[in-house]
Structure 1
């Protein structure tokens, strides 16, 4: 399945969207890096030039402030200067921090930290309110007469006071009567006063509600139990791959302003990887960087995501991990990506990086390295590696390492190495029949269902090793019996003319034969297609009559390890076959099967299914197309291989009345495909069901072919299979 297309563009060192800038603009502060401990003896231009040379990133802006801000002045050593680094992408700032921190500039070692620059929002000066100031003035002026009246009252005679009190009582009575009577007011003035009172009441209610919300939020934000509960929810969603609920739970954490720790971020990142949502993984990683909780686990998990879409970015990420030291699990994550992508140069760079960081390989590292070297037929490098680690790791190295070495040695023409490695494989399997097929099993707690699956895949893995050994043994026996010289001797897969690596998918990570051969990689394919185009030797059009109408061109998309396509091509000698697969290690498996079984009518295209069809396959040349057991979408709304655009592209490649067969063991996925076919106006015009009763589902033939999924079927996973067959109109 093509995973790279979910992103659109590559991620990692380059931004994958404007997430960083949107966070910066929405925040009340701007995140920068502050570089401290710069010698004052270095002038500003030299500082900027030196920093640029170290970080090698043009998107990061470097400035030297005219003066040191007051909030950091007490932290700056005397005789030193500072610099600010700014960039909208937080992950790039984090990498720059890791690169610069501890680097020497002059006689000082740089110190780099994140720095929050608070935005200054101008607020208008409050307007003077007369009602509040005038009463105060009146109170002050009224104080003096009152004091004088008190003194005068003391000197008055009792009779006069009696008279005055009676007069005052009369005045109070008349005043109270006048106040009790309603005073006439203008209508407009009364309505304005009512509106003002209503507005004041509403504002007070709103303020009260805001205070209540703030107290609730602060209570939740500061409650560690709430964060732990949501972390458990995230873990549960990751297990069930419930991506919708996963995002809701994570967004709630952000909404309440909670500060998750590295455990919560690690769980969320791992969930994004499991759900194959790598854009969301980038967002979560940026959040962890901003909260300054990104440890080696966070980096390692995010590197797993990068390996699925952009190996170069993954490599650059691990190079930048200086303050956050990478561990062997971090390196193994990228080595695993190199197995799938065939990146030999990145592999060599990782080995050098491990040496410089004094990180030693484990058995998983050795297995990955041997697989990578085997796919590139680097036989001597494998023996050199084993010589260094075999004694220390004896009993830990998986037998698949030696079976793969035996196969690669045979293809490279090194018979002695092939026989030697085959013997070691037999010895390991004989001494320890229960040996794990690989050295990187999950050692954590497994559910009963996962234990059954793990046992099943282990059993099938052992079958794969035995089958690989038998292919090598059978070919060696042919050579011995016929007293013939070795018939195969290749420098690498790329030197085989019936393999084409798409330049869209394999840009720099495969060995091109030579500069002279550039542009000639498709010669064998073009020659093949010319025979099946209209007017060609094998064309079977409705209006043309050809001498040879019994030859067909057929294709399997997403061939996996190649069991099905090599078996069909070996039996179907009246057809030419094309196998399409994106993973480099699987392409090696398909190619090796074709070579050792002498299958001459099989061509291999390495690349992304969507892009490779457009790049390689011309219009109207294919008679039959097969897609066997495509990976179903991880969750309901996820991207998938088989969509309307892809089905239209396949239709372009098919001849008239050509057929497309899709087989899956996932019922919901089969229903989704049928829904697309039956509801799309475009597809209804160009396809129709192949079944006579006009239904899309047809029974799967017993002799349909052998594949990895047949092994699952024969080993106890007897699930129902769904076969969809449609014809081009």
Structure 2
């Protein structure tokens, strides 16, 4: 590989951070990542395929320093021998019928074992296709198993295929497959139900998730994994009432909550500003009220525990003798400390935005103590546990999560100190509520372009937006002033009135900047603080992240910032007027799939041609679209997509250092830059988002951006 040239666009801070990553800690992390790659080569097939691709002609794309660089968005189906799956039917109703289960009648034991092994092998292949979001390939394997080989799929085979539907967002197909299981007499198991719940998590359909959970009857009752998946659906949708109901029924389902359950439930309570309930939850965990089986010797000794490790944890039905040393003892101590730190931070969070600064400081102190214990117990974990986590990505997530908790502690404590010292006034919560809009978190069917909402639908929307603040964000009392303000934000045709949102005159020439898929809102809030002469909005699908964005805005006291929740594709199509937005930002977008081929499907992908057309319609003439990412291959795909649309044009760009940006390559007329965007691209100040920090911990240090202007 040729030596990388110096990067003139990189600021001093970024250079210092890069040097820090070259430390012994970074070297150790790289070694672990290499070991993980060597042990799990199938997870990195797409990277190896990309490296083997031949360079494409440069004539199609114009100039650029990297003209001969391999095409990261080439598809694996372009390779010789790739199978055309366009004719594969993915409707479960067309799948062949089969016997409910494989019997031994009329066959030898050897033949029975051969068939069983073959079904297991195909099940694994279907699982691989599901992970790569290759729905048609998974369906083809399933049909061949029955039709060509005459074998009977197991409930786990169905669960693997169900996962393919879920991962591609094809929930109607997933529901039809569950119905087909009952039709052929192959009753769904708890894995199938949990997979379906995961699908409703991805499409944010909490009502369907509740229906699925309640449909689990004896002998297939919800287990801990199913409960935690359902709790994640509630968290993503902000439905506290359904979470409280499910938590209250855990004993009915014979499920003992674990640290994940407590974290999810505690976060939901805090989002609803149920501070007393969070305190009660912390107290109940400390008193061990959730322990049911493991502390009772009459249940009989757990043989796995006696051997050194019980995977079922608190949901084990046998006695755990605490005098027996466990291989994962250190890890369990860390998890417990992490849990209490998490809950105390959530409690402090809610107290800070409700102006209880003394209570906030008390819980921040306790959270800091648990985080300090967490640091001390890391060495204990290494000594006692002695086992490497098989998934390095899980380790990376945990490390990043702990760093985020520490950042949250500093942020909340700094806010409380400013208020207590008089440097900042107490937050006026209703003013922030009055410009916070929580649309449905579900992935909705798109309306036709140019259509408007009826007057009845508009009134329903106004009511729903106010109710959402009450039910999911803790808006107390009748809140008549908030209700009136929310109603004024929605025009009679259902579009948003940004002048009312920010209290400016209708013809005021202030910039309106909107970040899509905003994560926790770190980046946009910092831009709003630095650019008080413009208005800023963060739009995020997940309700828990909307709450994080909202709380950041409250703590920083930004009056030129608003948080919005909902499906960006639907919001742009239905609620944003044409030519009303100055700039649209997309930071670290998630690729639709990681397999890099046309066999992969994902109906949940946001950045599509249709979405970019709606973004173009919302932008003013020469308004900017800026996309920032660490994924070179995906950025090349997006550049080509934007170029093919023909509605965007090139505009001036700079790096965060202030130097004029020169593209590293040009794709379909769209320049792609390597580096960090600067002020001309709308990035007023350099601020890392959560995703930026996460990938930086994983040693993804390359950054790319696209900056184009709408051509009207």
Same fold (TM over 0.5): yes
Match of 2:217, SS state, is coil
Match of 1:697, SS state, is strand
| Higher-RCO chain (CA-CA 8 Å, sequence separation at least 6) | 2
Partner of 1:199: none
Match of 2:607, SS state, is coil
Q: TM-score, normalised by structure 1?
A: 0.62
CA RMSD of aligned residues (A): 3.8
Q: CA deviation at 1:415?
A: 3.0
Match of 1:511, SS state, is helix
In the alignment, the residues of structure 2 paired with residue 431 and residue 376 of structure 1 have an alpha-carbon distance, to the nearest angstrom, of 29
Counterpart contact for 2:237–2:441, Cα < 8 Å:
no
In the alignment, the residues of structure 2 paired with residue 269 and residue 589 of structure 1 have an alpha-carbon distance, to the nearest angstrom, of 32
**How has the CA–CA distance of structure 1 residues 531 and 468 changed in structure 2, closer, same or farther, with 3 Å as cutoff?**
closer
Counterpart contact for 2:515–2:586, Cα < 8 Å:
yes
Give the counterpart of 2:435 among 487, 498, 517: 498
Q: CA deviation at 1:531?
A: 10
Give the alignment of 1:192-341 within 5 angstroms: 223-256=115-148, 257-290=150-183, 291-309=185-203, 310-323=205-218, 324-341=220-237
Counterpart contact for 1:581–1:605, Cα < 8 Å:
yes
Counterpart contact for 2:181–2:187, Cα < 8 Å:
yes
In the alignment, the residues of structure 2 paired with residue 534 and residue 515 of structure 1 have an alpha-carbon distance, to the nearest angstrom, of 23
**How has the CA–CA distance of structure 1 residues 527 and 227 changed in structure 2, closer, same or farther, with 3 Å as cutoff?**
closer
Q: CA deviation at 1:587?
A: 0.7
Q: List runs of 5+ in structure 1 lacking aligned partners.
A: 1-16, 32-214, 437-442, 540-550
Match of 1:561, SS state, is coil
Match of 1:361, SS state, is coil
Match of 2:407, SS state, is helix
Partner of 1:487: 426
Give the counterpart of 1:725 among 704, 707, 712: 707
**How has the CA–CA distance of structure 1 residues 522 and 376 changed in structure 2, closer, same or farther, with 3 Å as cutoff?**
same
Q: CA deviation at 1:334?
A: 0.6
Q: CA deviation at 1:28?
A: 11
Could you list the per-position Cα deviations for residues 119-146 of structure 1 after superposition, in whole angstroms to 9, with x for gaps in the alignment? xxxxxxxxxxxxxxxxxxxxxxxxxxxx
Counterpart contact for 2:627–2:706, Cα < 8 Å:
yes
Counterpart contact for 1:532–1:621, Cα < 8 Å:
no
**How has the CA–CA distance of structure 1 residues 240 and 535 changed in structure 2, closer, same or farther, with 3 Å as cutoff?**
closer
Counterpart contact for 2:619–2:710, Cα < 8 Å:
yes
Counterpart contact for 2:427–2:557, Cα < 8 Å:
no
In the alignment, the residues of structure 1 paired with residue 169 and residue 699 of structure 2 have an alpha-carbon distance, to the nearest angstrom, of 25
Partner of 2:276: 380
Could you list the per-position Cα deviations for residues 426-469 of structure 1 after superposition, in whole angstroms to 9, with x for gaps in the alignment? 11112231669xxxxxx9x9986x31x22222222111111111
Q: CA deviation at 1:303?
A: 1.5
Partner of 1:688: 649
- Count of residues paired in the alignment: 499
Give the alignment of 1:193-592 within 5 angstroms: 223-256=115-148, 257-290=150-183, 291-309=185-203, 310-323=205-218, 324-392=220-288, 396=336, 397-433=339-375, 450-451=391-392, 453-482=393-422, 487-488=426-427, 490=429, 496-503=433-440, 505=442, 510-511=469-470, 514=478, 520-521=485-486, 523=488, 528-529=498-499, 536-539=506-509, 551-592=510-551
Give the alignment of 1:13-162 within 5 angstroms: 22=93
Partner of 2:616: 651
Partner of 1:610: 569
Match of 2:249, SS state, is helix
Q: CA deviation at 1:702?
A: 5.7
In the alignment, the residues of structure 1 paired with residue 91 and residue 677 of structure 2 have an alpha-carbon distance, to the nearest angstrom, of 52
Match of 2:557, SS state, is coil
Give the counterpart of 1:666 among 617, 631, 637: 631
Partner of 1:7: none
Q: List runs of 5+ in structure 2 lacking aligned partners.
A: 1-88, 101-106, 291-331, 379-384, 443-460, 491-495, 654-665
Counterpart contact for 1:529–1:618, Cα < 8 Å:
no
In the alignment, the residues of structure 1 paired with residue 677 and residue 201 of structure 2 have an alpha-carbon distance, to the nearest angstrom, of 38
**How has the CA–CA distance of structure 1 residues 292 and 244 changed in structure 2, closer, same or farther, with 3 Å as cutoff?**
closer
In the alignment, the residues of structure 2 paired with residue 407 and residue 534 of structure 1 have an alpha-carbon distance, to the nearest angstrom, of 30
